[in-house]
Amino acid sequence: MEIKILGTGCAKCKTLEKLTRDVVAENNINANITKVEDIMDIMKMGVMATPALVVDGKIVMKGRLPSSDEIKQMILNA
Amino acid sequence: MTNTKLFGIPIIILTLLLTLYHFLQPLTNWLIDSVLNLEKGSHLTEAIRFFVFEFPKVMILLTIIIFFVGIIRTFFTAERTRKALEGKKTFTGNVMAASLGIVTPFCSCSAIPLFLGFVESGVPLSVTFSFLIAAPMINEVAIILLYGLFGWQVAAIYVGTGLMVAIVAGYLIGKLKLEKWVEPWVYAVEMGDTGSTENKINLESRITQGYEAVKEIVSKVWLYVALGILVGAGAHGYVPEDFMAALMGKSAWYSVPLSILIGIPLYSNAAGIVPIVSVLIEKGASLGTALAFMMSVIGLSLPEMVILRKVLKMPLIITFIAIVGSGIMLVGFLFNFLM
């Protein structure tokens, strides 16, 4: 599974990355997590409000900071 | 989560908070006069009374209103706002952009992607600016604090004049045709499709966002509110009433531009600045001057300019500051003249 965190480096983006890594570790999800910080790349994916969460190329959440439970659901349902 | 739990818990909490809010004044008096039995009318007693009443009052207001703002904001996403502004003519577009700036979730870290997204979809520069001015300047925490400390009239003046500044400044920037001062790479941005990935969000998540907003904002601002009101409490009894009159009073016309200049490099969140402004006013500063100072601190911030420098050339940044600063100055003069 490919998980991407889109964000230019604001506090919420960092928290999202941390939460996502925790969720993946706790649930033994086999995923590769990368952070996309380049604004051009973020725009190309059609994201205007950061942070955003991308699972296997699909944007599952953007513009807010979801709870760990929500992140888990988003990853598993993607 | 069941529906009873989903709606029941917020309703119970809300009722408790409102009850506490309602009985806060007698409760404070009972605590100060009967339980602690402090000497009535002394400076220290009155300062303590001020803090013990004002701090919980403001925090209750903040909690309740931020909860609802958090829920309302889930309906206004950046994509929807962009869509609403697409192809809008100036003026109508400026009015809409400034109004949407109040409710669309915004933090200075998302100013760049928003700017790029707006420009890419053909929202005029002038309309984009109205949004970028209103979004930080008309801040929900400031509205609540102004309401709590001054009453609804001042809160309404703040929202009204803030909207006016954002609309007129954006309109003027459009008239000046400053597109040449936007960094060229901005126009090269190719934006992916935003429509296909509309945020799916259910009612439960919306209410959760309300709790999250309260947690996030209250944990961030409570200390500033406490410090601001503490300064207010200290000044309440001890600093003479007309202490600020000479410096920031009505008669000192130069105080308006001076306050704005001082306000630009000062970067405080709304929660810290409003209690300070209430002290300034209590000690003789005029409303117009204090309002101008506050708008400058919140609306014109150096860190945001540094972020915007990535997409705007220096002359445009300076024009932006000059136009918004002049607008705030007019607001200051107007209220000093009227009141």
pLDDT in tens, B153-210: 989 999 999 999 999 999 999 999 888 899 988 888 877 776 544 456 778 888 888 8
CB-CB neighbours of B16 under 10 Å: 11
Degrees to nearest 5, angle at CA B145 with B143 and B150: 95
Residue with tokens 């609309």: B167
Beta-carbon separation of B205 and A63 below 8 A:
no
Q: Which helix (H) or strand (E) holds B226?
A: helix B203-238
Q: Are A49 and B105 in contact (CB under 8 A)?
A: yes
Closest of B302, B264, B266, B259 to residue B281, by C-alpha: B259
Q: What is the pLDDT of residue B332?
A: 92
Strand partners, A33: A3
**Token output for B176:** 């000046």
In this prediction, what percent of chain B has a pLDDT beyond 90? 32
A10-24, B22-36, B39-53, B226-240: segment of lowest average pLDDT: B226-240
Maximum alpha-carbon separation in chain A: 32
- Closest by Cβ to A63, choosing from B120, B191, B199: B199
Give the CATH number of domain A2-77.
3.40.30.10
Residues with Cβ within 8 Å of B82's Cβ and at least 6 positions away in sequence, in order, are A48, B117, B118, B121, B123, B194
Mutation target to probe the A interface, by most A beta carbons within 10 A, among B73, B199, B306 is: B199
Tell me the Ramachandran region of residue B41: left when phi exceeds 0, alpha when psi lies from -120 to 50, beta otherwise: left
Beta-carbon separation of A63 and B193 below 8 A:
no
Q: Residue B135: is its pLDDT beyond 60?
A: yes
User: Considering only alpha carbons, which residue of chain B is nearest residue A50?
Assistant: B110
For chain A, say whether B117 makes contact (Cβ under 8 Å): yes
d(CA A64, CA B2): 24
Report for B125-134, B234-243, B250-259: range of highest mean pLDDT: B125-134
Which of helix, strand or coil describes residue A63? coil
Residue type (1 letter), B159:
V
* CA distance to A4, A12, A33, A37, B156, per residue, from A21 (Å): 11, 14, 7, 17, 44
Q: What is the pLDDT of residue B237?
A: 66
Q: What is the pLDDT of residue B200?
A: 65
Number of Cα atoms under 13 Å in the Cβ half of residue A31 = 25
For B276-294, what is the mean pLDDT?
86
Number of Cα atoms under 13 Å in the Cβ half of residue B95 = 3
d(CA B87, CA B256): 37
Residue B208 CA from chain centroid, whole number: 23
pLDDT in tens, B4-22: 888 888 899 999 999 999 9
- Closest by Cβ to B190, choosing from A44, A49, A61: A44
Strands A2-6 and A52-55: antiparallel
